């Protein structure tokens, strides 16, 4: 501010001197030196205030974001402008507090979800304090997570044939209405008595996320909250979808598919265990099973690619962590529903359970074995 005032005064006085016929070069030179000294003095006076006040980007949302191309906007905020406007319409009735505009709230939250940038950097970009960003993001992803029942739901029975047809297009595996898998979301170990329970077999602290998806990479069910040391099989047994399957929710001709970490049943088919003596039919079944199940790995890979903060979620409260994860999954479905373009996923998820963690299904039920062999013979 001081620089602007001095510059204006400098210009006005200099113009007067230039209009004066008696003005000399020496006088003008002396004046310039005097003004320069005044500017240095004023700068030293205002420097204390500048150092105490945070320096932030001004009018980023109002002036800079509108200049982004459609490609740039989608790259920064993970969705098109039209999709973002639809998100604003959905969340407007929920996020009623208006200290910040709804647009600034959601854009700052999307930037937080999509990047691993520090809170300080994001807050400076959007012209708000770190505390405001934290509270804004917390309320925003709780509001997004509240849309879960509408955007993530297991299909009705009348939708099963359509979903199964989508899966069968890849290699003809029949009756699949969902592929299930688990992944680890890295988090700091909570400061509780159960801290060690969050250390998974890979040696880092994490929270489990179990997902079921269709062939379009849409999540049909998510379940999160269990510590990283818990096996996938136990997480599945405790999940609501497992209880629904036990109540015969799926007709006999339909089933889920999962890797060898899950327990075999009529409702959940896994590969034949490779003991080095598999026959041609069993190998063909395993190959088709793997090719069909890859969609869930692609879905998890796409989720973590879009929302990179899931690569390390620096949060300590379990409730906030689960809301954050749920919000990312809801946004994943919301974007896929509104946009017909699926981003290319270079790598599938790498957190799958290896062969050493296979569940030994030594006491498979006869109906489950018979169903698997029936499908193997069809393939």
Tens-digit pLDDT profile for residues 214-241 = 999 999 999 999 999 999 999 999 999 9
- The CB-side HSE value for 266 (13 A sphere, CA atoms) comes to 15
Q: Tell me, what's the pLDDT at 7?
A: 55
What distance in Å separates the CA atoms of residue 60 and residue 127, rounded to the nearest whole number?
7
| Least confident span in 1-5, 236-240, 261-265 | 1-5
Rg of the Cα atoms in the chain: 29
Residue 273, Cβ density class (10 Å: 0-12 exposed, 13-18 middle, ≥19 buried): middle
Query: In a 3-state reduction of DSSP, which class is residue 226?
Result: strand
More confident residue, 274 or 132: 132
**Measuring CA to CA, which residue among 207, 193, 233 is closest to residue 324?**
207
Q: Is the confidence at residue 8, as pLDDT, over 80?
A: no
Q: Is the confidence at residue 268, as pLDDT, over 50?
A: yes
Question: DSSP string covering 124-184, please?
Answer: HHTT--HHHHHHHHHHHHHHHHTTHHHHS-PPPGGGHHHHHHHHHHHH--TTEEEEEEEEE
Pairing of strands 176-186, 206-213: antiparallel
Assign 358 a pLDDT band (cuts: 50, 70, 90): low
What distance in Å separates the CA atoms of residue 49 and residue 190, rounded to the nearest whole number?
40
Q: How does pLDDT run across 45-94, given as a tens digit for each residue?
A: 444 445 556 677 788 999 999 999 999 999 999 999 999 999 999 999 99
Say what the pTM is: 0.81
Q: Tell me, what's the pLDDT at 330?
A: 97
Mean of pLDDT values over 153-164: 92
Assign 206 a pLDDT band (cuts: 50, 70, 90): very high
What distance in Å separates the CA atoms of residue 96 and residue 126, rounded to the nearest whole number?
20
Q: Is the confidence at residue 176, as pLDDT, over 80?
A: yes
Q: Which residue has the tokens 């002396």?
A: 30
CA distances from 255 to 135, 171, 222, 338 (A): 42, 16, 17, 28
User: What percentage of the chain exceeds 90 in pLDDT?
Assistant: 61
**Measuring CA to CA, which residue among 329, 325, 352 is closest to residue 207?**
325
Cβ-contact 327, 303 below 8 angstroms = no
Q: How does pLDDT run across 313-346, given as a tens digit for each residue?
A: 998 888 889 999 999 999 999 999 998 766 655 5
Q: Tell me, what's the pLDDT at 353?
A: 43
The distance of Cα 321 from the centroid of its chain, to the nearest Å, equals: 12
Assign 193 a pLDDT band (cuts: 50, 70, 90): confident
**Measuring CA to CA, which residue among 180, 291, 196 is closest to residue 232?**
180
- The CB-side HSE value for 59 (13 A sphere, CA atoms) comes to 5
**Measuring CA to CA, which residue among 296, 295, 291, 284 is closest to residue 372?**
284
Return the exposure string of 36-56: e unless at least 16 CB atoms fall within 10 Å of the residue's CB, then b.
eeebeeeeeeeeeeeeeeeee
Q: Tell me, what's the pLDDT at 158?
A: 92
Most confident of 1-5, 126-130, 331-335: 331-335
**What is the 8-class DSSP label of residue 199?**
B
**Measuring CA to CA, which residue among 263, 215, 260, 218 is closest to residue 239?**
263
Q: Tell me, what's the pLDDT at 26?
A: 57
- Phi and psi at residue 170, to the nearest 5°: -75, -55
Dihedral, CA of residue 207, residue 210, residue 213 and residue 219, to nearest 10: -50
Mean of pLDDT values over 107-120: 94
Mean of pLDDT values over 152-164: 93
Q: Is the confidence at residue 20, as pLDDT, over 80?
A: no
Cβ-contact 283, 294 below 8 angstroms = no
């Amino acid at each position: 501010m001081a620089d602007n005032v001095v510059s204006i005064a400098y210009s006005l006085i200099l113009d007067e001197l230039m209009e004066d016929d008696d003005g000399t070069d020496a006088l003008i030179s002396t004046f310039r030196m005097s003004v320069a000294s005044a500017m240095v003095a004023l700068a030293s006076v205002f420097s204390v205030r500048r150092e105490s006040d945070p320096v932030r980007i001004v009018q980023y949302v109002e002036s800079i974001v509108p200049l982004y191309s459609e490609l740039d906007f989608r790259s920064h905020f993970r969705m098109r402008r039209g999709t973002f406007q639809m998100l604003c319409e959905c969340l407007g009735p929920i996020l009623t507090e208006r200290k910040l505009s709804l647009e600034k709230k959601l854009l700052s939250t999307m930037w937080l979800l999509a990047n691993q940038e520090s809170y300080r950097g994001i807050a400076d970009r959007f012209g708000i304090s770190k505390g405001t960003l934290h509270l804004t993001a917390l309320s925003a992803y709780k509001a997004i997570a509240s849309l879960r029942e509408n955007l993530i739901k297991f299909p009705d029975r009348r939708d099963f044939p359509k979903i199964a047809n989508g899966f069968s297009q890849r290699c003809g595996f029949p009756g699949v209405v969902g592929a299930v898998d688990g992944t680890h979301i890295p988090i700091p170990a909570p400061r509780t008595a159960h801290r060690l329970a969050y250390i998974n077999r890979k040696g880092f602290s994490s929270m489990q996320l179990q997902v079921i998806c269709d062939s379009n990479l849409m999540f049909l069910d998510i379940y999160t909250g269990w510590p990283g040391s818990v096996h996938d099989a136990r997480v599945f047994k405790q999940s609501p979808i497992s209880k629904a399957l036990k109540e015969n929710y799926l007709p006999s001709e339909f089933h889920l598919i999962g890797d060898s970490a899950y327990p075999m049943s009529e409702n959940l088919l896994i590969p034949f265990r490779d003991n080095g003596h598999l026959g041609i039919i069993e190998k063909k079944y395993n190959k088709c099973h793997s090719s069909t199940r890859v969609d869930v790995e692609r879905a998890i890979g796409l989720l973590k690619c879009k929302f990179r903060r899931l690569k390390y979620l620096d949060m300590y409260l379990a409730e906030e962590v689960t809301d954050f994860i749920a919000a990312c999954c809801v946004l994943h479905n919301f974007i896929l529903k509104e946009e017909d373009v699926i981003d290319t996923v270079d790598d599938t998820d790498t957190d799958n359970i290896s062969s050493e963690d296979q569940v030994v299904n030594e006491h498979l039920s006869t109906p489950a074995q018979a169903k698997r062999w029936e499908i193997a013979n069809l393939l």
